[in-house]
Amino acid sequence: MSLRITFITAGRILRQLLNDHRTVGLILAVPALIIALISAIMDDAPQVFDKTGLILLAAFPFMLMFMITSITLLRERTGGTLERLMTTPTGKLDLVVGYALAFGTAAAAQTAVAAGVAFLWLGLDTAGPTWAVFLICIVTSLFGMALGLFVSAFATTEFQAIQFMPVFVVPQLFLCGLIWPADQMAGWLQGVSDALPLTYAVKALAEVQAHTEVTSDMWADLAVVLGAVVVATVLGAATLRRRTD
Protein backbone atom coordinates (compact mmCIF):
# COMPACT_ATOMS: atom_id res chain seq x y z
CA MET A 1 0.00 0.00 0.00
CA SER A 2 1.22 3.50 -0.85
CA LEU A 3 0.07 6.49 1.16
CA ARG A 4 0.84 8.81 -1.74
CA ILE A 5 -1.37 6.89 -4.17
CA THR A 6 -4.09 6.55 -1.52
CA PHE A 7 -4.26 10.33 -1.15
CA ILE A 8 -4.18 10.90 -4.90
CA THR A 9 -7.06 8.43 -5.25
CA ALA A 10 -9.05 10.07 -2.46
CA GLY A 11 -8.49 13.47 -4.09
CA ARG A 12 -9.75 12.20 -7.41
CA ILE A 13 -12.89 10.67 -5.87
CA LEU A 14 -13.63 13.85 -3.91
CA ARG A 15 -13.18 15.97 -7.02
CA GLN A 16 -15.63 13.72 -8.88
CA LEU A 17 -18.13 14.25 -6.10
CA LEU A 18 -17.58 18.02 -5.92
CA ASN A 19 -18.11 18.36 -9.69
CA ASP A 20 -21.65 17.13 -9.11
CA HIS A 21 -23.10 20.19 -7.39
CA ARG A 22 -26.60 18.85 -7.04
CA THR A 23 -25.42 15.71 -5.26
CA VAL A 24 -23.30 17.82 -2.91
CA GLY A 25 -26.35 19.95 -2.12
CA LEU A 26 -28.50 16.88 -1.49
CA ILE A 27 -25.86 15.25 0.69
CA LEU A 28 -25.55 18.31 2.89
CA ALA A 29 -29.17 19.43 3.10
CA VAL A 30 -31.39 16.34 3.02
CA PRO A 31 -30.50 14.73 6.40
CA ALA A 32 -30.81 18.05 8.19
CA LEU A 33 -34.21 18.64 6.57
CA ILE A 34 -35.51 15.17 7.41
CA ILE A 35 -34.34 15.47 11.00
CA ALA A 36 -36.09 18.85 11.19
CA LEU A 37 -39.25 17.19 9.85
CA ILE A 38 -39.02 14.39 12.44
CA SER A 39 -38.49 17.00 15.13
CA ALA A 40 -41.64 18.83 14.03
CA ILE A 41 -43.59 15.55 14.00
CA MET A 42 -42.39 14.70 17.50
CA ASP A 43 -42.86 18.23 18.77
CA ASP A 44 -44.85 17.04 21.82
CA ALA A 45 -42.33 14.38 22.84
CA PRO A 46 -38.80 15.79 22.99
CA GLN A 47 -37.49 12.67 24.79
CA VAL A 48 -38.58 10.53 21.83
CA PHE A 49 -36.92 12.95 19.41
CA ASP A 50 -33.71 12.81 21.46
CA LYS A 51 -33.61 9.09 20.70
CA THR A 52 -34.89 9.00 17.12
CA GLY A 53 -33.05 12.12 15.99
CA LEU A 54 -29.82 10.76 17.39
CA ILE A 55 -30.19 7.44 15.58
CA LEU A 56 -31.01 9.28 12.35
CA LEU A 57 -27.77 11.24 12.69
CA ALA A 58 -25.91 7.95 12.28
CA ALA A 59 -28.40 6.32 9.90
CA PHE A 60 -28.12 9.00 7.20
CA PRO A 61 -24.37 8.89 6.59
CA PHE A 62 -24.63 5.10 6.73
CA MET A 63 -27.18 5.07 3.91
CA LEU A 64 -25.38 7.79 1.99
CA MET A 65 -22.08 5.99 2.01
CA PHE A 66 -23.68 2.71 1.05
CA MET A 67 -25.38 4.31 -1.93
CA ILE A 68 -22.61 6.47 -3.28
CA THR A 69 -19.96 3.82 -2.80
CA SER A 70 -21.92 1.04 -4.47
CA ILE A 71 -22.83 3.24 -7.44
CA THR A 72 -19.42 4.90 -7.89
CA LEU A 73 -17.62 1.60 -7.62
CA LEU A 74 -20.05 -0.06 -9.99
CA ARG A 75 -19.23 2.71 -12.46
CA GLU A 76 -15.53 2.02 -12.02
CA ARG A 77 -16.14 -1.66 -12.67
CA THR A 78 -18.37 -1.26 -15.72
CA GLY A 79 -16.72 1.85 -17.18
CA GLY A 80 -13.34 0.20 -17.62
CA THR A 81 -11.53 2.55 -15.24
CA LEU A 82 -11.10 -0.21 -12.65
CA GLU A 83 -9.44 -2.43 -15.25
CA ARG A 84 -7.21 0.46 -16.21
CA LEU A 85 -6.33 1.21 -12.58
CA MET A 86 -5.38 -2.42 -12.06
CA THR A 87 -2.60 -1.95 -14.63
CA THR A 88 -1.27 1.13 -12.77
CA PRO A 89 0.74 1.17 -9.52
CA THR A 90 -2.59 1.53 -7.63
CA GLY A 91 -3.01 -1.27 -5.10
CA LYS A 92 -6.43 -2.63 -4.13
CA LEU A 93 -5.99 -1.26 -0.64
CA ASP A 94 -4.95 2.15 -2.01
CA LEU A 95 -8.24 2.27 -3.86
CA VAL A 96 -10.38 1.06 -0.98
CA VAL A 97 -8.77 3.36 1.59
CA GLY A 98 -8.93 6.19 -0.95
CA TYR A 99 -12.68 5.62 -1.14
CA ALA A 100 -12.93 5.53 2.64
CA LEU A 101 -11.04 8.83 2.97
CA ALA A 102 -13.01 10.61 0.26
CA PHE A 103 -16.48 9.45 1.22
CA GLY A 104 -15.60 9.56 4.91
CA THR A 105 -14.96 13.27 4.37
CA ALA A 106 -18.34 13.59 2.68
CA ALA A 107 -19.97 11.75 5.58
CA ALA A 108 -18.23 14.01 8.08
CA ALA A 109 -19.50 17.11 6.29
CA GLN A 110 -23.00 15.68 6.17
CA THR A 111 -22.90 14.75 9.85
CA ALA A 112 -21.56 18.19 10.77
CA VAL A 113 -24.46 19.96 9.08
CA ALA A 114 -27.11 17.55 10.37
CA ALA A 115 -25.68 17.49 13.89
CA GLY A 116 -25.32 21.27 13.91
CA VAL A 117 -28.97 21.69 13.00
CA ALA A 118 -30.12 18.98 15.42
CA PHE A 119 -28.13 20.09 18.45
CA LEU A 120 -28.15 23.86 18.04
CA TRP A 121 -31.50 24.51 16.46
CA LEU A 122 -33.79 21.55 17.11
CA GLY A 123 -32.68 21.14 20.71
CA LEU A 124 -31.48 17.56 20.43
CA ASP A 125 -30.02 16.62 23.78
CA THR A 126 -27.51 14.04 24.95
CA ALA A 127 -25.92 13.65 28.35
CA GLY A 128 -22.58 12.66 26.82
CA PRO A 129 -20.21 14.67 24.62
CA THR A 130 -21.01 15.65 21.03
CA TRP A 131 -17.65 14.43 19.76
CA ALA A 132 -18.62 10.88 20.76
CA VAL A 133 -21.79 11.17 18.66
CA PHE A 134 -19.68 12.43 15.79
CA LEU A 135 -17.20 9.58 16.10
CA ILE A 136 -19.96 6.96 16.12
CA CYS A 137 -21.55 8.55 13.05
CA ILE A 138 -18.27 8.48 11.10
CA VAL A 139 -17.47 4.86 11.98
CA THR A 140 -21.02 3.86 11.07
CA SER A 141 -20.72 5.66 7.74
CA LEU A 142 -17.50 3.76 7.03
CA PHE A 143 -19.45 0.56 7.58
CA GLY A 144 -21.93 1.77 4.97
CA MET A 145 -19.03 2.40 2.60
CA ALA A 146 -17.51 -1.03 3.13
CA LEU A 147 -20.87 -2.70 2.65
CA GLY A 148 -21.46 -0.72 -0.55
CA LEU A 149 -18.04 -1.71 -1.81
CA PHE A 150 -18.82 -5.35 -1.18
CA VAL A 151 -22.28 -5.43 -2.78
CA SER A 152 -21.15 -3.48 -5.85
CA ALA A 153 -19.46 -6.71 -6.93
CA PHE A 154 -22.85 -8.41 -7.19
CA ALA A 155 -24.57 -5.73 -9.22
CA THR A 156 -24.08 -5.40 -12.94
CA THR A 157 -26.32 -2.35 -13.39
CA GLU A 158 -27.11 0.73 -11.33
CA PHE A 159 -30.71 -0.49 -11.05
CA GLN A 160 -29.50 -3.59 -9.28
CA ALA A 161 -27.22 -1.58 -7.02
CA ILE A 162 -30.18 0.54 -5.93
CA GLN A 163 -32.20 -2.61 -5.26
CA PHE A 164 -29.55 -3.74 -2.79
CA MET A 165 -30.64 -0.88 -0.51
CA PRO A 166 -33.80 -2.68 0.67
CA VAL A 167 -31.81 -5.92 0.99
CA PHE A 168 -28.75 -4.77 2.94
CA VAL A 169 -29.70 -1.45 4.50
CA VAL A 170 -33.42 -1.32 5.26
CA PRO A 171 -33.55 -4.46 7.48
CA GLN A 172 -30.68 -3.07 9.54
CA LEU A 173 -32.53 0.23 9.94
CA PHE A 174 -35.73 -1.52 11.03
CA LEU A 175 -34.01 -3.88 13.41
CA CYS A 176 -31.45 -1.53 14.93
CA GLY A 177 -33.95 0.11 17.26
CA LEU A 178 -34.90 3.08 15.08
CA ILE A 179 -38.59 2.24 14.74
CA TRP A 180 -38.98 -0.15 17.66
CA PRO A 181 -36.77 -0.88 20.69
CA ALA A 182 -34.75 -4.01 20.05
CA ASP A 183 -35.46 -5.45 23.52
CA GLN A 184 -39.21 -5.38 22.83
CA MET A 185 -38.96 -7.47 19.65
CA ALA A 186 -39.70 -11.21 19.40
CA GLY A 187 -36.79 -13.33 20.63
CA TRP A 188 -35.65 -14.49 17.21
CA LEU A 189 -35.77 -10.93 15.90
CA GLN A 190 -33.59 -9.83 18.80
CA GLY A 191 -31.16 -12.53 17.71
CA VAL A 192 -31.12 -11.12 14.19
CA SER A 193 -30.80 -7.61 15.55
CA ASP A 194 -27.82 -8.66 17.66
CA ALA A 195 -26.12 -9.97 14.53
CA LEU A 196 -26.44 -6.69 12.62
CA PRO A 197 -23.62 -4.15 13.03
CA LEU A 198 -25.90 -1.11 12.85
CA THR A 199 -27.53 -2.27 16.12
CA TYR A 200 -24.23 -1.68 17.90
CA ALA A 201 -23.97 1.82 16.50
CA VAL A 202 -27.40 2.52 17.99
CA LYS A 203 -26.36 0.97 21.33
CA ALA A 204 -23.25 3.13 21.38
CA LEU A 205 -25.38 6.20 20.71
CA ALA A 206 -27.72 5.21 23.55
CA GLU A 207 -24.70 5.11 25.86
CA VAL A 208 -23.77 8.66 24.88
CA GLN A 209 -27.40 9.61 25.33
CA ALA A 210 -27.58 8.32 28.89
CA HIS A 211 -24.16 8.97 30.45
CA THR A 212 -22.23 12.19 30.86
CA GLU A 213 -18.93 10.33 30.73
CA VAL A 214 -17.90 8.17 27.80
CA THR A 215 -18.51 4.57 28.97
CA SER A 216 -16.56 1.43 28.28
CA ASP A 217 -19.80 -0.09 26.93
CA MET A 218 -19.80 2.62 24.29
CA TRP A 219 -16.26 1.75 23.28
CA ALA A 220 -17.16 -1.95 23.17
CA ASP A 221 -20.16 -1.28 20.93
CA LEU A 222 -18.11 0.98 18.71
CA ALA A 223 -15.43 -1.69 18.47
CA VAL A 224 -18.04 -4.12 17.10
CA VAL A 225 -18.94 -1.63 14.37
CA LEU A 226 -15.27 -1.04 13.64
CA GLY A 227 -14.76 -4.79 13.40
CA ALA A 228 -17.60 -4.97 10.90
CA VAL A 229 -15.93 -2.20 8.90
CA VAL A 230 -12.70 -4.21 8.71
CA VAL A 231 -14.46 -7.46 7.76
CA ALA A 232 -16.62 -5.81 5.08
CA THR A 233 -13.61 -3.89 3.71
CA VAL A 234 -11.53 -7.04 3.40
CA LEU A 235 -14.44 -8.87 1.73
CA GLY A 236 -14.99 -5.86 -0.54
CA ALA A 237 -11.31 -5.58 -1.47
CA ALA A 238 -11.35 -9.29 -2.29
CA THR A 239 -14.03 -8.60 -4.91
CA LEU A 240 -11.66 -6.26 -6.77
CA ARG A 241 -10.10 -8.66 -9.20
CA ARG A 242 -6.97 -7.82 -11.11
CA ARG A 243 -7.67 -10.52 -13.66
CA THR A 244 -11.17 -11.12 -14.97
CA ASP A 245 -12.78 -13.46 -17.52
Residue 3 interacts with another protein (CB under 8 A)? Answer: no
Q: Which is nearer to another protein, 83 or 125 (CB)?
A: 83
Residue 197's closest CA among 152, 140, 150? 140
Does residue 205 contact residue 135 with C-beta atoms inside 8 Å?
no
Among 3, 19, 183, 187, binds another protein (CB under 8 A): 19
CA distances from 141 to 36, 48, 192 (A): 21, 23, 21
Q: Applying CB under 8 A, does 181 fall inside the site for another protein? A: no
Q: Is 45 in the site for another protein (CB under 8 A)?
A: no
Q: How many CB atoms lie within 10 A of CB 212?
A: 10
From the list 125, 155, 112, the residue with the least C-alpha distance to 49 is 125
Closest CA to 224 of 191, 201, 190: 201
By CB under 8 A, is residue 20 in contact with another protein?
Answer: yes
**Of 2 and 163, CB closest to another protein:** 2
Binding mask 71-110 for another protein (x = CB under 8 A): --------xxx-xx-xxxxx--------------------
Q: Which is nearer to another protein, 48 or 84 (CB)?
A: 84
**Which x/- pattern, by CB under 8 A, does the window 189-228 give for another protein?**
----------------------------------------
B/e letters for 77-106, b = 16+ CB within 10 Å, e = fewer, are beeeebeebbeeebbbbbbbbbbbbbbbeb
Closer Cβ to another protein, 93 or 185, answer by number: 93
**65/161 Cα distance (integer angstroms):** 13
Helix (H, G, I), strand (E, B) or coil at 126: coil
Shortest gap between Cβ of 28 and another protein (angstroms)?
A: 18
Q: Give 5 or 114: the residue with its C-beta nearer to another protein.
A: 5
Quote the least distance from Cβ 234 to another protein, whole Å. 20
Position 170 contacts another protein (CB under 8 A): no
Under rule CB under 8 A, residue 25 binds another protein: no
Q: CB atoms < 10 A from the CB of 74, how many?
A: 22
Task: Please report whether residue 8 would count as binding another protein according to CB under 8 A.
Answer: yes
Burial of 110 (0-12, 13-18, 19+ CB in 10 A): buried
- Taking CB under 8 A as the binding criterion, the range among 121-129, 171-179, 207-215, 237-245 that sits at the site for another protein is 237-245
Q: What is the SS3 assignment for 164?
A: helix
In the complex, the residues that contact another protein under the rule CB under 8 A are 5, 8, 12, 15-16, 19-20, 79-81, 83-84, 86-90, 242-245
